[in-house]
Homo-oligomer: A and B are copies of this chain.
Amino acid sequence: MEYIFSDRISSLKPSAIREILKATSDPEVIAFSAGNPAPEAFPVDDIREITARILRERPVEALQYGVTEGYDPLRRRIAEYIKSRHAIGRDFDSVMVTSGAQQVVDLACKVFCNEGDTVVCEAPSFIGSLNCFRSYSVKLAGVPVEADGMDIDGLEAVLAREKRAKLIYTIPNFQNPSGATMSLPKRKRLYELAKARGVMILEDNPYGDLRVMGEHLPSIKSMDTEGIVIYAGSFSKILSPGLRVGFACAESSVISKMTVGKQTSDVHTPMLNQMLVDQWMETTDFEGHIKKIQAIYARKLTLMCDQLESRLGGFFSFHRPQGGLFVWGLLPEGVDMPGFCRLAVQKKVAIVPGSAFMVDENERTQAVRLNFSTPSDENIVKGVSLLAEAAAETRAAL
């Protein structure tokens, strides 16, 4: 049969990076291409013990249907945690549990955007979110990312032009892929602009706790006196991505609509997974755990950046990020960027071409993204050395 797929799904072309990501399943290839948290950061013993206790003491609750909003003790605990740790959440707000933060992005768009509306996003931005927006047949309007985050003058111009702008999507901390962190003055201006224009902000903060240097900055949601910010949080980077537990904090009527949207998507997030996160938050030394994983990420980030500077200096120019999972940098003008990525894969190290993160996938870029959390320390050194080989060959051929 000749299938006629929907317009929304047909617009999602198999991406150029899929080819390269496929290479990562080859165990011989060093994956600088992934976004996996460091496996040594998983609190395996705690998870084992807590899971056993839940299945011993409350098996039926863990295995039965739950409510769409999420497991109530976990919702309350998240609300307390973001309030005390990040000053997020006012009386008009509420919290829902989602199947990862990706689902917050999906539900925010589902609830606010009609086909043909505009989502304003950072350019470059996270490919999973860009494709999610595309799947709603919205128009994407990109605003360049600078070293201190989104170009707010650019944002102002875009908002003045895009009459149907409904959402501004931002990853303010250690942005994926650029690694940039938005400055405090920019956060304030972004909030004021959105308020003046009546546009919702979707603040995606998966990496916020993974700061390894510099000072903590307040989230945009913490400034939200009007209920215009939907905050997306996740346990993927601090506990485990495989459990798929994230959350949204937003004004209560927005959460109600997102709940209706989630009901038709997956009914609810698995109960065992929610109870596990709840009990882990209750019993673990949370601050101690965060400090421990920050130390792991600081070591890996420093190792990769040092290696890149010493082995690829002059070929790969980048800003050292203050946290997160990624280093983003530019190859020299004149170098064939996709060709370099292909050469890297031949040498058994996978990196992601920056074009994957462009709002317009055909836009030319010299950027590539490298991840330091997935590979072992040994493979970080080895992988950069393979990239240096590829760089030398590329230079010689210029």
Contact = CB atoms under 8 A, between A and B. Distances in A.
A110 interface: yes
A385 interface: no
Interface stretch (A184-192, A241-249, A327-335): A241-249
A42 B63 contact: yes
B63 A52 contact: no
Contacts of A283: none
A266 B14 CA distance: 18
Interface string A253-285: 110010011011111111111000000000000
A291 interface: no
A264 B52 contact: no
A222 interface: no
Given A9-B261, A110-B8, A3 B131 contact: no
A229 to B, nearest CB: 10
A100 B241 contact: no
Contacts of A5: 111-112, 257
A338 interface: no
Contacts of A266: 99-100, 102-103, 106, 244, 265-266
Contact of A265 (B8, B14, B47, B265): B265
A218 interface: no
B52 A39 contact: no
A59 B36 contact: no
Nearest to A66: B242
A345 B114 CA distance: 39
* Best-buried of A66, A263, A266 by chain B (most CB within 10 Å): A266
Contacts of A64: 36-37, 39, 42, 240-242
A65 interface: yes
Contacts of A65: 34-36, 236, 241-242
Interface in A179-204: 198
24 contacts: A1-B226, A1-B251, A3-B253, A6-B111, A8-B114, A9-B110, A9-B111, A9-B261, A12-B264, A36-B64, A36-B65, A44-B60, A47-B59, A52-B52, A62-B242, A63-B241, A65-B241, A65-B242, A102-B266, A132-B265, A265-B265, A266-B266, A270-B273, A272-B272
